[in-house]
């Protein structure tokens, strides 16, 4: 039994479907009647929510950060089995000297078994690459704050039907495997961001480490994270009524943090099978082999089991912190200015870009709905 | 010089003898044939015996961010525990706040040949958030020391040579390009010392990635006119050039260091054992460590020392003497303006 099945019993949404409760074959009449006496029927609520969400689709914003050359793009491609970076051009020498940290968003719509996911990857090229990296994380913290601010404004606004949630739900931070632990840049970055976003630290390019080195490095990183008081994303405790296997898997997951990952864009032939991997003269590294690296654990955690939890923590903890801070700042400013304002805080007008972006998104949604309706009508006409 | 003894051997030189050619424009000493064994070749043996008695000195510096395997590489190169870490076992790895230079000297011996090897390590290089000017402490003060010894009236018979003969620069295997820090450092230092760039921890790159990375690095070096060892300007003859060209094609070497031995096919080899195979350090199909070792030790060691002495040290000396702005140098006072002796990098 995988963790997927475990989710069924807790009522959390698995990525796959569990229509059983609603579509199960009816019992015999006698059983039904007995059943009916005690059965109210709200046990189908999760399924109703499920069906609605499937129609609406999910969205998820993932940020990747770390020095260049650590395999971030390759890992993202491996995680979502897409090629998001095929048009990427590497800069030439002069451009690189003056490179600053940028924020680049890639959005892609993926669909699997009828479930739609709008995935946004926020990339941070240029981070940690310069000679002087002081405050190189500032553009990133600014971006995250901007997304919070935009959501805050939308939430306090009048039209709340189509709020676009661009908040960053998770940040994968790539730690270089070539060091002896965390570097000063890593520590400063994580301390600047741990209260704004869920940080999941990863050890990149783990195929250059032998197993004993990986163990030592993980211990070292865990010690340093504690020492510097960095609050990385904690996996939620599983309930006590879960079965033993689920709990065992959960424990293994927690013990292998930070995950040592390898990514690959290429498919190689290993033991007669075609797998994603890297071909070396001395052997083949398989990305999805649990003995080789923790990629499978990361993927399961990120997509299959904890995606919703990441979103919840972002909404409930990080966003609320931001909101509380924001309101506090405003009220303290107001008492200073000694003015009486309306309870809804007045924020500076949004820039025209975000407004038009929202309009475009709304129109896109309408278009898509109309197209779906058209398709259904055509289908009906063909059937007749 | 004795005049040529046998006339008939000199047909080709006759034209030169005819005209009154001043000595400075003479085409070089004329060759002649010996008609018996003189014993000139024995001078090679004499040299050999002498150098074996005095021994060699070799100073190597390793530069790069922490964790790139510098100490392991040095141990692997000289097949003994000569690195800083081996002399201070049990000391925890901590990134120092400023770049430090730590030198360890060992005397190693092989087949009667003694070598005094000094390894200078640079912990703290490139590890901080702000790495501006982290290359300044590495500015070579050894030249200054050697220069002062050289201009003394009563010099030591053999001036202790602490000048760095070769600097191995470790480039992290990002697979993309050289970082601004790498470019800055190599540009400044290749003017005063022989820099040999290597790709560290190359077991993280597949062969295609390795080839692409190398090509990009070579392009970068050319664009920024950084001349790494072996420098093109110092090739003495076509034979040298051919040999060095072959080396230059492969620069920077992709190396892997290891200090543990494993069993492969019945032999014990130095390597790294992973779940998907064993990386053999001395196998040319796996990594280019043998090429680096051959370059540094087996074929170009003397060349490194010669270029350091004849080219880099001389240009430093010329610069310093011009700075001092005096027609004759008074060895009693030493060189003036020691305070302004910071190299203009």
8 A C-beta contact, residue A186 and residue A159: no
Which stretches of chain A sit within 8 Å of chain B by CB? Answer: 67-70, 90-91, 93, 96-97, 129-134, 176-181, 183-185, 188, 205, 207-208, 210-211, 278-286, 291-292
Q: Which of B68, B98, B177 is best to mutate for the A interface (most A CBs within 10 A)?
A: B177
User: Which chain B residues are Cβ-neighbours of A190 within 8 angstroms?
Assistant: none
**Chain A nearest-CA residue for B128:** A184
**B332 within some domain:** no
CB contact under 8 A, A184 and B274: no
Backbone torsions φ then ψ of A247, nearest 5 degrees: -65, -35
Pairing of strands A115-123, A170-175: unpaired
Tokens of A94: 């002069």
pLDDT of residue B203: 87
Closest-CA distance of chain A to residue B307, Å: 29
Work out the pLDDT band at B199, boundaries 50, 70, 90: very high
Tokens of A266: 């290429």
Interface contacts (A, B; CB < 8 Å): 108
Between these two residues, A305 and A144, which has the higher pLDDT value? A144
Per-residue pLDDT for B28 more than 80?
Answer: no
The segment with the largest mean pLDDT, out of A267-271, B31-35, B315-319, B323-327, is B315-319
Q: Which of A184, A281, A292 lies nearest to residue B286, judging by beta carbons?
A: A281
Q: Which of B129, B176, B181 lies nearest to residue A134, judging by beta carbons?
A: B129
Work out the pLDDT band at B89, boundaries 50, 70, 90: low
Per-residue pLDDT for A265 more than 70?
Answer: yes
Residue A86 region, left (φ>0) first, then alpha (ψ -120 to 50), else beta?
alpha
8 A C-beta contact, residue A119 and residue A60: yes
Q: How many domains does chain B have?
A: 1
**B11 within some domain:** no
Work out the pLDDT band at A174, boundaries 50, 70, 90: very high
- Domains within chain A, CATH numbers bracketed: 51-84+91-236+244-334 (3.40.50.300)
Residue-wise pLDDT for B144-172, tens only, equals 778 888 888 888 777 778 788 888 999 98
Helix ranges (DSSP H) in chain A: 3-10, 20-23, 29-38, 45-56, 72-80, 93-97, 138-156, 184-193, 211-227, 244-255, 295-299, 307-313, 320-337, 352-383
User: Which chain B residues are Cβ-neighbours of A278 within 8 angstroms?
Assistant: 206
pLDDT of residue B277: 84
**Chain A nearest-CA residue for B70:** A178
- A184-193 and A138-156 helices cross at what angle (nearest 10)? 10
8 A C-beta contact, residue A351 and residue A358: no
Q: Which of helix, strand or coil describes residue A162?
A: coil
User: Which chain A residues are Cβ-neighbours of B177 within 8 angstroms?
Assistant: 90-91, 93, 96
Task: Report the distance separating Cα B342 and Cα B345, nearest Å.
Answer: 9
CB contact under 8 A, A179 and B65: yes
Number of H helices, E strands in chain A: 14, 9
Residue-wise pLDDT for B110-138, tens only, equals 887 888 888 888 887 877 777 776 666 66
Closest-CA distance of chain B to residue A60, Å: 28
User: Which chain A residues are Cβ-neighbours of B281 within 8 angstroms?
Assistant: none
User: Which chain A residues are Cβ-neighbours of B127 within 8 angstroms?
Assistant: 183-184
**B337 within some domain:** no
**Long-range pairs, B302-309, Cβ under 8 A, ≥24:** B303/B230, B304/B165, B304/B166, B304/B194, B304/B229, B305/B58, B305/B165, B307/B194, B307/B229, B307/B231, B307/B234, B308/B163, B308/B164, B308/B165, B308/B166, B308/B193, B308/B194, B309/B163
**B37 within some domain:** no
Work out the pLDDT band at B334, boundaries 50, 70, 90: very low
**Chain B nearest-CA residue for A99:** B180
8 A C-beta contact, residue A209 and residue A180: no
**B273 within some domain:** yes
8 A C-beta contact, residue B209 and residue A69: no
Work out the pLDDT band at B340, boundaries 50, 70, 90: very low
What does the DSSP 8-state code read for residue B195? E
On the 0-12 / 13-18 / 19+ scale of CB atoms within 10 A, A363 is: exposed
Write out A173-192 in H/E/C secondary structure: EEECCCCCCCCHHHHHHHHH
* Average pLDDT, integer, range A39-48: 82
Mean per-residue pLDDT of chain A: 78
CB contact under 8 A, B180 and A185: no
Q: CATH code at B302?
A: 3.40.50.300
Per-residue pLDDT for B20 more than 50?
Answer: yes
pLDDT of residue B22: 54
**B23 within some domain:** no
The interface predicted TM-score of the complex, written ipTM, equals 0.72
8 A C-beta contact, residue B224 and residue B237: no
Q: Which of B174, B177, B201 lies nearest to residue A96, judging by beta carbons?
A: B177
Query: In terms of residue numbers, what domain contains B178?
Result: 46-83+98-323
Q: Which of B65, B132, B174 lies nearest to residue A131, judging by beta carbons?
A: B132
Q: A313-341: string of b/e by CB count within 10 Å (b at 16+)?
A: bbeeebbeebbeebeeeeeeeeeeeeeee
**B342 within some domain:** no
CB contact under 8 A, B286 and A282: yes
User: Which chain A residues are Cβ-neighbours of B207 within 8 angstroms?
Assistant: 280-281
**Chain B nearest-CA residue for A187:** B129
Q: Which of B274, B280, B283 is best to mutate for the A interface (most A CBs within 10 A)?
A: B274
pLDDT of residue A173: 92
* Average pLDDT, integer, range B85-106: 67
Per-residue pLDDT for A218 more than 80?
Answer: yes
Q: Which of A224, A281, A284, A287 is best to mutate for the B interface (most B CBs within 10 A)?
A: A281
Q: Order of strands, edge to edge, in the sheet holding B253-254? A: B102-110, B113-121, B56-63, B166-171, B195-199, B253-254
CB contact under 8 A, B130 and A208: no
**B89 within some domain:** no
* Average pLDDT, integer, range A349-371: 73
């Amino acid at each position: 039994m995988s963790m997927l099945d475990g989710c069924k019993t807790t009522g959390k949404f698995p990525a796959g479907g569990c229509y059983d409760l609603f579509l199960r074959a009816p019992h015999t009449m006698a059983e039904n009647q007995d059943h009916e006496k005690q059965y109210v029927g709200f046990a189908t609520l999760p399924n109703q929510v499920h069906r609605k969400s499937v129609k609406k689709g999910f969205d998820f914003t993932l940020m990747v950060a770390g020095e260049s050359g650590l395999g971030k793009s390759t890992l993202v491609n491996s995680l979502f089995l897409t090629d998001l970076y095929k048009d990427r051009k590497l800069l030439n020498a002069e451009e690189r000297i003056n490179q600053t940290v940028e924020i680049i968003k890639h959005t892609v719509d993926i669909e699997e078994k009828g479930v739609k996911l709008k995935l946004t990857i926020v990339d941070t090229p240029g981070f940690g690459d310069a000679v002087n990296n002081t405050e190189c994380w500032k553009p990133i913290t600014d971006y995250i704050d901007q997304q919070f601010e935009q959501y805050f404004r939308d939430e306090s606004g009048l039209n709340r039907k189509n709020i676009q949630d661009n908040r960053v739900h998770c940040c994968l931070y790539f730690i270089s495997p070539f060091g002896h632990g965390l570097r000063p840049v890593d520590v400063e970055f994580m301390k600047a961001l741990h209260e704004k976003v869920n940080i999941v630290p990863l050890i990149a390019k783990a195929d250059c480490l032998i197993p004993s080195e990986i163990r030592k490095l993980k211990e070292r990183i865990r010690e340093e994270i504690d020492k510097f008081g960095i609050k990385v994303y904690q996996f939620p405790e599983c309930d006590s009524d879960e079965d033993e296997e689920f709990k065992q898997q959960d424990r293994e997951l927690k013990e292998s943090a930070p995950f040592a990952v390898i990514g690959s864009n290429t498919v190689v032939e290993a033991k007669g099978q075609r797998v994603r991997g890297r071909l070396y003269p001395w052997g083949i590294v398989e990305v999805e082999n649990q003995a080789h690296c923790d990629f499978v654990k990361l993927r399961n955690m990120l997509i299959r089991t904890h995606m919703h939890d990441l979103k919840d923590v972002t909404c409930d903890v990080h966003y609320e912190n931001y909101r509380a801070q924001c309101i506090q700042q405003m009220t303290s400013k107001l008492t200073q200015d000694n003015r009486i304002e309306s309870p809804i805080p007045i924020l500076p007008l949004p820039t025209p870009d975000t407004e038009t972006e929202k309009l475009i998104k709304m129109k896109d949604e309408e278009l898509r709905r109309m197209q779906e309706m058209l398709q259904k009508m055509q289908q009906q006409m063909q059937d007749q | 010089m004795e005049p040529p003894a046998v006339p008939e051997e000199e047909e080709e030189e006759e034209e030169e003898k005819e005209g009154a050619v001043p000595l400075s424009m003479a085409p070089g000493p004329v060759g002649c044939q010996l008609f018996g064994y003189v014993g000139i070749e024995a001078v090679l043996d004499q040299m050999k015996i002498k150098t074996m008695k005095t021994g060699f000195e070799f100073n190597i510096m390793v530069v790069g961010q922490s964790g790139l395997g510098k100490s392991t590489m040095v141990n692997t190169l000289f097949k003994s525990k000569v690195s800083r870490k081996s002399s201070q076992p049990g000391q925890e790895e901590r990134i120092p706040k400023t770049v430090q230079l730590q030198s360890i000297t060992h005397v190693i011996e092989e087949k009667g040949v003694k070598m005094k090897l000094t390894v200078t390590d640079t912990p703290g290089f490139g590890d901080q958030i702000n790495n501006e000017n982290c290359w300044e402490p590495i500015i070579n003060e050894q030249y200054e020391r050697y220069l002062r010894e050289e201009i003394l009236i009563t010099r030591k018979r053999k001036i202790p040579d602490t000048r760095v003969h070769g600097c191995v620069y470790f480039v992290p295997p990002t697979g993309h390009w050289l970082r601004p820090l790498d470019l800055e450092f190599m540009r400044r230092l290749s003017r005063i010392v022989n820099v040999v760039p290597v790709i560290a921890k190359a077991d993280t790159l597949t062969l295609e990635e390795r080839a692409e990375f190398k090509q990009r690095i070579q392009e970068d070096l050319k664009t920024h006119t950084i001349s790494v060892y072996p420098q093109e300007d110092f090739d003495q003859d076509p034979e040298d050039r051919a040999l060095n060209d072959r080396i230059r094609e492969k620069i920077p070497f992709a190396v892997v260091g290891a200090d543990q031995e494993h069993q492969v096919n019945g032999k014990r080899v130095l390597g790294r054992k992973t779940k998907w195979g064993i990386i053999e350090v001395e196998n040319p199909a796996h990594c280019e460590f043998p090429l680096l070792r051959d370059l540094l030790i087996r074929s170009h060691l003397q060349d490194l020392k010669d270029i350091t002495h004849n080219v880099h040290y001389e240009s430093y000396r010329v610069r310093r003497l011009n700075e001092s702005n005096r027609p004759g140098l008074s060895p009693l006072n030493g060189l003036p303006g020691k305070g302004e002796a910071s190299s203009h990098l």
